Amino acid sequence: MILAVDIGNTNIVIGCIEQEKVYFVERVSTDSSKTELEYVVAFKTLLELYRIRIEEITGCIIASVVPPLINIMKTAMEKLLQISPLIVGPGVKTGLNVLMDNPAQVGADLIVNAVAGLRYYGAPLIIIDMGTATTISVVDNKKNYIGGMILPGVKVSLESLVNRTSQLPRISLEAPKKVIGTNTIDCMKGGIIMGQAASMDGLIERITEELGYPAQVVATGGLAGCIIPYCKKKVIYDNELTLKGLGIIYHKNVEN
């Protein structure tokens, strides 16, 4: 069993994987001010919650888009597991052909998602990851990672709207009963939820036009579950995609 850790700007996604089976997916807040010991305690508590003994974990892999946390998390995992974790980055085998102007600039999370997407859904593929930012990755029919786009995330958009207006309140992320709102709260919910869903539909359509052929679409990320059900395009929701990708990359590099 391996412990997979994906460090995002807002949340750290954690899960245990064995033979491509994901035992759990949990999120804790990303906090660069925490010490290694604080992360050790948090992770130890989480493993105990799922009744997983530390002795059962034989490997660990970390992907991060928050550089200051990489060494902190690496040290924390070494203390907790007595194992040196694999860090996703330059020199790590992924099996993915990245056709970008500067492949080294592609976020580790995007690479991991694409690796899992190819394994489980094939190519061509459009991958949507809805976190602090919403990212879209495109894999063509030759299994090449050819690029994508980055746009403000759902909560980033909502917080910007609330913080820059005088009378709009903070709201929960749930869809209104109907698209045309009849009060401020429902108008905001409709704008955020339906607006994001319509944005995804429109971008999928434009990407497909540029590719010149249809592609399967899969979505992941903490906020995708709020938005994807309201998309008109067919989108598969896979909350475990990133952890599955980390498991695949781990075995590509340290299986032997």
Q: Which residues are part of the catalytic machinery?
A: 109
- What residues are paired with 28 via a beta bridge? 12
Q: CA–CA separation, 47 vs 77, rounded Å?
A: 13
Backbone angles phi, psi at 216, to 5 degrees: -70, 150
CA distances from 72 to 41, 64, 69, 77, 175 (A): 13, 11, 5, 9, 38
The secondary structure of 196-240 as a DSSP string is HHHHHHHHHHHHHHHHTS--EEEEESTTHHHHGGG-SS--EE-TT
**Helix crossing, 36-49 with 67-81: angle to 10°?**
60
Structure tokens at 166: 């005088």
Q: CA–CA separation, 214 vs 133, rounded Å?
A: 25
Residues 6+ apart with CB under 8 A from 59: 1, 2, 3, 83, 85, 86, 250, 254
CB 216 within 8 A of CB 122: yes
Q: Which residue has the tokens 């690029």?
A: 147
**3-class secondary structure, 21:** strand
